[in-house]
Structure 1
Amino acid sequence: MINLVLSNKEKVLESYVDSLFSGVASSKALGDVPIELLEKMILTYPYDYTSYRANDICSIIRDRKKT
């Protein structure tokens, strides 16, 4: 799913990007996602001050360190 969004970044609405971050942050399989892919997602869609994306990014980093 992450690759699909990244490969269509011009066409994907911000609300879907926020949902993607939320889903990744709450995923039980976060440890299976390559760190490089997470980095690419975060660099492609940086946080802003109008959504919870920054909180989701912090959760992804925190939970990824646990695995």
Structure 2
Amino acid sequence: MPQRPEHTIDESKIYRTTITTNKGTIVMDLDPALAPKTVNNFVGLARLGYYDGLTWHRVVPGFVIQGGCPDGR
């Protein structure tokens, strides 16, 4: 796992992310005012391509998707 990204987000901005899967698309708004460290980590890792190609281990329609280790474990 990469090191925690440096704090590079603008905390006054809402970040919108789109996750595209073979089961559909998920759009989320990330609000740094509510969780600045979490938003910074997610945005920073996404910018590094960390989430690209990750495997979804569990999909329950209408309930949850769970991803796993970047090594596919």
Q: TM-score, length-normalised on structure 1? A: 0.26
Per chain length, whose mean CA-contact separation is higher, i.e. which structure has more relative contact order (CA < 8 Å, sep 6+)?
1
Q: Which has the higher strand share?
A: 2
Return the index of the structure with the highest Cα Rg: 2
